[in-house]
Chains A and B, each alone.
Chain A
C-alpha cells in the first residue's frame, strides 16, 4: 500500500475560525476512505486542501508526493463540481469531453455515460437535467481522467434512496477498477455502504480513525432522558457511557443499548419520570465517547458544544 496523499500536522484557519485543527492523515492506495462528521467539522476544508484550492495555515499537504497546488500533480486526481455548478448551456457529452481532454488517459465519453447511466441524455444541455442526473454527471466527472485518487464531497446529499444506491454502485465499480476514493458524508449509512476505513472529524479534529464496523459499534448510542432524584444510581446501571444534566432538571444518559438500560432501570426500582428515548446524533455520540472514561468531562464537553450553537 502506497501513500497517495498525506496531511501532516495541518491546521487551517478562516480568520478567527479554526476549521482544521492539527490533522495528520495518510490516504493509502486501494481503499475507500470515509470522512465522516457533522456539518462544519472540517471535512470539506480537508478536501479543498487536497485539491490545491486552499493552502494550510500551517503543516503540509502532499499529493502523490508533490504539491496539490501544482497542476501537474493533479493529473491523477479526480474531483466533482457541485451539481448546481454545471454550465447550463453545455451538453452532457460536451462537459464530459471537455473534462477528459485535461487528462493523459481519459475514458471515452461513451464509456463514462454508460457507467453512470447518462447515455440517454448525452445530447441534452445540463440545465435540462434532473437533480439526480446532474449529481450523477458531477460524480462521473471525477472518474473521467482515470484518476488514482478520487475525492467525493457529499456525493448523494439530497438524493432519494434509489438514486443514492445507483450512485454508490457506480462508485464501488470504479473502486474495483483501481481508484482510491475519499468520500465525505454526514450520513453514517453512506459511509457504511461505501467505505472500509472511516475517519471521524468533529470541530476540525480527527476523533476516530478505524474500520467501519468498529466505528459503527462506537457511534450507535441512544439518549435516554428522564427526571430522577438519583442520577448517580442510574449512571451505575449497565451500558451507560455518559450523562448530561439539563437546566430543566432532566438528565440525559447515553447508552449503547437503551432497551436494556430501561429494563434495568425499572428492575432497580429507582424512581423516575418523563422518560424519552431517542438516537444520539453522530456528533453527540462522538463527543460523548471521546470523554467516555470520565462522564463528568464528557458532560462539560457537551455543555460547551451546546453553548457554541
Chain B
C-alpha cells in the first residue's frame, strides 16, 4: 500500500464493534430499503442492531419486516427485491437449510439480494460455532459466495457485493459469510465510511437510470417465474445463471479495484489474495477467519527461513479457477485447508475437491494435500497452523506423508485424550 493511502486511512475514525454489528452498519451504509429478519444464533445481533437503527430513525424509509421463519425471510426479500428495492437479511446454519427452497428461487429469479451469513456447524450434534459447511452446502444454487477473514472485510465486502450483484449484466444474489462467534461476536476496530463517499461508490436506489433490475409495477404488468415447458427455454435460463456467475469474476475484480481507489483498502484481485507466494516452495489455500491467523504463521515461518506462502480464497462462487492455477504454478506443494465438510467426496473437504478439479489437466501445478481443521468451532491455534505448514514443508522435502492421514486427507487437530 502506498504512503498516500496510509495517510488517507489514518485520518478516518474507527469504532470498535463486533463482526455482526459491522454487517449491520454495512447494510445501513448501503441504504438498504427492505430488511426481513428472523433470529438465529450466531447471526441474531445483525438483525437486532438493524432493528435498533430503524427504530431510532437512523434508516429513514427502510422497511423492517419481522417474519416467522427463515423460509419466510427469504420469501420476503425475494418479493421485496422483485419490487425493485435493495434488500438485506442475515442467517446461519439451520436457518439456511430451512430457507433452501427460496435460496434457489432468488438465484433463478436473478435478484440482487445480499445476505450476511455468520457460519455455524450443521446439526446434529447441535452446534452453533464456526464451520462453513452451512453456506458451502448452498454451492449449486447459483448464489455467489464469499468469505471474510476480518471485521473490516465484512463491512467492505457487503458494500462491494451490492455493486457486483446489481450490475445489470450479472443480477445474482450473494452470500457474505464469516465464522460464527470468531468474527460475529468478537470486537475489532472498523472504519465506517462517510455516507457521501459510500453513496459515490454505491449510489442509493433508484439511480438516475431507474431501478437496477426488472421490477414489479402495476403500470407495466408482467409475469415472474412462470411455468416453462421442456421444449421451451428452461434449459437456456439455467445456462444464463452459470454464464452470469462466470462473468461476475471480471466484475468482482473491477469493483475491488474501484473500492481500493476510493477507500484505500486492498483485497487482492477481489477473488483471491496472495501472501508471500512468490519465491515459495510450499503454499496453502485457506479461507475465512483462519486466513488472517495463517498470515501470521507464514510470516513467523518466513522469519525462520522456510519458504512458505498462502493464498486467501475470497470467493467460492464464482470459483477463481484461473487465478488458483496461476498460484499453483508458483509452488511445488499446496495444502488446501477446509473448515467445512463434503462427506463422501474425494477429499472430504469442499474447497480441496474444487482445487483438485481446477488443477487437474494443467501441467506444472502443485501437488494438493487436503487438510481439514476447526470443524464446529474447534480452536485452531497459531502453533497448530505453523505445524501444518511444517508438515507440508517436510512432505515436500522428504516425500513422507504426515502420519495422521485419513482417507487421503489430513484431519488436523483431532482429540487424543490420554
Instruction: Tell me whether A and B are bound partners.
Output: no
